[in-house]
């Protein structure tokens, strides 16, 4: 029988604290920032020009960066940072809970989910440029709303990262037994 006094709801007093998590190394945070900054429609367009369009390196570079302007880049970057910001808020919130040991797997899984979804969505939006039918204005709208749709993909990636951590810990515990 537990002889601890009853505590108000939400109080953690008297409960054991989880082991502190190793801080996320700055190289991971810099990598996340680099993915957020450089995985954009221009980078995917460059990759498409090389692979689907079978252009040479110089021609692909010229074609991908033909319409590049700093204001357009910053405009779409604001939209692209929405899912990354949501992931950052979730990970920072985890830092103050017993779940903090899962911060790194959740961050990496969420990053993979968001980056993969954005790369796939941008690829699909720009594909009509190289496959024959004339592109419409729809890809421009798709580029705006892809970031909102990437939030669930990031959540699935974060859950996959957490699940991977649980499996690794279970295997390690099983090997020790």
Kindly report, residue by residue over 29-87, the tens digit of the pLDDT.
677 778 777 888 888 889 888 888 888 889 888 888 888 888 888 888 888 888 988 98
Nearest Cα to 116, choosing from 89, 141, 146? 146
Q: What is the pTM of this model?
A: 0.75
Q: Where are the domains of the chain?
A: 26-176
Residue 104 near residue 141 (C-beta atoms within 8 A): no
Share of the chain above pLDDT 70, in %: 80
| Confidence tier at 17 by pLDDT (50, 70, 90) | low
């Amino acid at each position: 029988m537990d002889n601890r006094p009853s505590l108000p709801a939400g109080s953690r007093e008297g409960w054991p604290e989880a082991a502190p998590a190793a801080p996320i190394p700055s190289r991971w945070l810099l990598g996340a920032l680099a993915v957020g900054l450089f995985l954009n429609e221009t980078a995917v367009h460059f990759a498409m020009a090389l692979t689907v369009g079978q252009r040479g390196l110089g021609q692909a570079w010229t074609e991908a960066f033909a319409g590049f302007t700093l204001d357009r880049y910053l405009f779409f970057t604001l939209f692209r940072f929405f899912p990354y910001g949501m992931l950052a808020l979730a990970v920072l919130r985890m830092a103050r809970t017993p779940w903090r040991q899962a911060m790194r797997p959740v961050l990496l899984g969420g990053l993979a989910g968001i980056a993969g979804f954005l790369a796939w969505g941008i690829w699909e939006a720009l594909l009509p440029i190289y496959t024959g039918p004339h592109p419409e204005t729809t890809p421009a709208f798709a580029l705006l709303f892809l970031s909102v749709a990437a939030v669930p993909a990031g959540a699935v990636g974060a859950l996959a990262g957490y699940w991977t951590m649980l499996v690794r810990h279970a295997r390690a515990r099983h090997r020790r037994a």
